[in-house]
């Protein structure tokens, strides 16, 4: 098997760009998954150039091999190794084995210059370390101040958050406050958690998955079919998606469509057994407000969890509903995957199945938790739907031309809110 690793390393040294190295790595993974650890270690030793194949190997690295590779990469990073793959693997360790990086908080702060360490990582930051960073940050370059500010704000420690907000230059409100809650995943005033620790991936049947992966090039599609978020884990519950609802859109008057019907208690606080999340897909793209332009829309739910338009939606008589989009009605499995590797805090690209109920939001842009239009409390994150939700005509729903739809819930007022982001 070492010969196969040598062949792969030689392939990525070649100047031409093709899918050959990626396909060869997938062949190796298919035959002997544990060989990816040797591949990644030798690639770090040889200072291999940046390439898609090694990034993919880092994602596919089996859980039982990952700790060894993570420890080696982190050791190298702490001693000053600036190779891109060392940082890439260390970032993966921050998501799936955060305790490994907590032996050197200064190094973790440097690593955050390479990528997002949000989610739950900074919640373990010791208060005394944060105080030391604040003490010395004022004289640091602006770039270092911004990294320090982001880490301290994500810690969720109110006193540190407030002091850190001035680092790295001024920010326009309300985005500073919105970003603060998004980084920490906690409500500023109370420290209340705004998301759960782990989510459940939405998994459609084999026929739908073929449609979801059809547009990917051959090597990328094969990689997705092997990815644990598309194939691993076990079924924890079944939810319902698609179909028209009795509730109506307050903007165009069309019936809402079911985004997902599930027991929210599986993922967060909820006082009723089941909630049906719905959205209007019939408002045409007119350049006005609505989820298709990144603006939030809200719905009020009755005691059975059924949605209807919130009063904040204003009927526009100029809008003629467009019924070209209809979500396919079917049951969908909610899959639990034990490893936290598959709940990254920022969008990494198109290999993973990012559609999830609960867990940490995967922000495509800067994160934003919605505020309840009634009680004004920050809403709890419920789910995110990537742009591969099946439509009745056999195509896939594209949120803002290939983005992500985010859904939030206020259990006190029984109100849901939705908005979307795109890259």
List phi, psi (to 5°) of 146: -65, -45
Q: How many residues does the chain have?
A: 423
Region of residue 253 (left: phi > 0; alpha: psi -120 to 50; beta: else)? left
Q: Which tokens is 251 given?
A: 């903007």
Calpha distance 214→208 (Å, rounded) = 10
For 310-414, strand residue ranges (E) read 330-336, 356-358, 380-386, 389-390, 396-397, 404-410
Pair 339, 96: CB distance under 8 Å: yes
Omega prior to 174 cis, within 30 of 0: yes
Placement of tokens 């990012």 in the chain: 354
Pair 256, 244: CB distance under 8 Å: yes
Sequence-distant (≥ 6) Cβ neighbours of residue 304 within 8 angstroms = 272, 274
How many H helices and E strands in the chain? Answer: 15, 14
Pair 373, 310: CB distance under 8 Å: yes
Calpha distance 194→185 (Å, rounded) = 5
Pair 345, 94: CB distance under 8 Å: no
Q: In this predicted structure, what is the pLDDT of residue 289?
A: 45
DSSP 8-state assignment for residue 338: S
Output 205-211 pairs: Cβ under 8 A, ≥24 positions apart: 205/330, 208/328, 208/330, 208/390, 211/390, 211/394, 211/396
Calpha distance 301→310 (Å, rounded) = 9
Q: In this predicted structure, what is the pLDDT of residue 293?
A: 52
Calpha distance 255→272 (Å, rounded) = 23
Q: In this predicted structure, what is the pLDDT of residue 172?
A: 52
Q: Which tokens is 152 given?
A: 């301290």
Pair 125, 105: CB distance under 8 Å: yes
Calpha distance 28→40 (Å, rounded) = 13
- The Cβ-side half-sphere exposure at 416, using a 13 Å CA radius, reads 28
pTM above 0.75, yes or no: yes
Q: In this predicted structure, what is the pLDDT of residue 292?
A: 54
DSSP 8-state assignment for residue 114: T
Placement of tokens 């190794």 in the chain: 81
Q: In this predicted structure, what is the pLDDT of residue 176?
A: 55
Q: In this predicted structure, what is the pLDDT of residue 119?
A: 62
Would you tell me how many other CB atoms lie within 10 Å of the CB of residue 50? Answer: 11
Would you tell me how many other CB atoms lie within 10 Å of the CB of residue 423? Answer: 11
Instruction: Give the mean pLDDT per block of 10 residues along the chain (423 residues).
Output: 84 81 94 96 95 92 94 97 96 90 96 82 93 89 86 85 76 58 83 90 86 77 86 93 94 93 93 95 60 77 97 86 84 88 73 90 86 95 91 86 90 95 79
Longest dimension (CA), the chain: 69
Q: In this predicted structure, what is the pLDDT of residue 366?
A: 76
């Amino acid at each position: 098997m070492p010969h196969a690793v040598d062949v792969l390393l030689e392939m990525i040294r070649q100047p031409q760009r093709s899918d050959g190295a990626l396909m060869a790595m997938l062949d190796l993974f298919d035959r002997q998954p544990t060989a990816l650890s040797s591949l990644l270690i030798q690639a770090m030793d040889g200072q291999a150039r940046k390439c898609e194949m090694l990034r993919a190997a880092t994602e596919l690295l089996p859980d039982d091999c990952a700790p060894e590779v993570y420890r080696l990469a982190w050791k190298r990073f702490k001693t000053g190794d600036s190779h891109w793959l060392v940082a890439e693997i260390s970032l993966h360790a921050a998501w799936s084995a955060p305790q490994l990086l907590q032996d050197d908080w200064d190094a973790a702060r440097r690593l955050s210059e390479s990528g997002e360490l949000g989610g739950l990582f900074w919640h373990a930051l010791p208060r005394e370390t944060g105080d030391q960073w604040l003490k010395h940050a004022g004289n640091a370059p602006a770039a270092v101040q911004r990294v320090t500010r982001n880490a301290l704000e994500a810690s969720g420690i109110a006193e540190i958050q407030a002091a850190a907000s001035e680092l790295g230059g001024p920010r326009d409100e309300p985005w500073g406050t919105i970003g603060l809650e998004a980084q920490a995943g906690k409500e500023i005033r109370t420290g209340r958690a705004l998301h759960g620790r782990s989510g459940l991936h939405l998994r459609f049947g084999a026929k739908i998955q073929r449609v979801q992966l059809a547009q990917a090039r051959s090597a990328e599609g094969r990689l997705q079919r092997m990815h644990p978020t598309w194939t691993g884990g076990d079924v924890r519950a079944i939810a319902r998606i698609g179909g028209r609802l009795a509730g109506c859109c307050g903007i165009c008057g069309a019936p809402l469509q079911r985004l997902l019907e599930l027991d929210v208690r599986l993922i967060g606080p909820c006082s009723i057994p089941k909630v049906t999340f719905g959205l209007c897909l019939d408002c045409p793209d007119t350049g006005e407000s609505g989820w298709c332009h990144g603006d939030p829309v809200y719905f009020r739910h009755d005691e059975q969890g059924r949605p209807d338009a919130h009063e904040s939606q204003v009927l526009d008589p100029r809008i003629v509903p467009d019924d070209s989009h209809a979500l396919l009605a079917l049951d969908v499995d909610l899959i639990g995957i034990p490893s936290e590797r598959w709940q990254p805090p920022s969008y990494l690209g198109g290999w993973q199945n990012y559609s999830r109920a609960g867990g940490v939001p995967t922000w495509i842009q800067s994160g934003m938790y919605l505020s309840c239009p009634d009680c004004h409390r920050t809403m709890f994150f419920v789910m995110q739907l990537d742009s591969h939700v099946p439509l009745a005509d056999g195509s896939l729903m594209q949120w803002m031309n290939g983005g992500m739809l985010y859904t939030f819930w206020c259990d006190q007022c029984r109100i849901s809110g939705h908005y979307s982001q795109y890259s």
